[in-house]
Amino acid sequence: MKYLAFLILSITITTQNIDKLHNDAKQAFYTNDYATAITKWQTALDLAQQVDNKANISKFLVNLGAVNYSISKYQVALEYFQQAVLIDQELNDKNGQGSDHHYLGLIY
């Protein structure tokens, strides 16, 4: 029982950390602090992968793609968007897939 309580608390703390990192990354992105945005979204992605939150994984991949696109790292952006497409297909997330393909279209 204690293990379950610890696990739930751990996931809750991780989720809160992910949300804060995402909000901080968005703020950095909107103020053109791309290095900070990349660092925070990468950390959020790592945490989302630890708890296997595929929706957040896809979101952070798209965000990392967008910030790399903004700094003209098109190949890196392409790789992030392609990874997001695969996850959104797995989740059957049609809106996510549409967004992913939109970003892929910008690169091509």
| Domain residue limits, the chain | 2-107
Q: What pLDDT shows up at residue 6?
A: 46
Query: Out of 2.160.10.10, 1.25.40.10, 3.30.70.260, 3.40.50.1820, which CATH number does the structure's domain 2-107 have?
Result: 1.25.40.10
**Per-residue pLDDT for 36 more than 80?**
yes
Work out the percent of the chain whose per-residue pLDDT is above 90.
83
Does the pLDDT value for residue 4 go beyond 60?
no
CA 103 to chain centre: 14
Q: How far apart are CA 63 and CA 21, in angstroms?
A: 12
Asked if residue 90 has pLDDT above 90, the reply is yes
Query: Which whole number is the average pLDDT over 46-63?
Result: 96
> pLDDT at residue 8 above 90?
no
d(CA 25, CA 90): 26
pLDDT value of position 14: 74
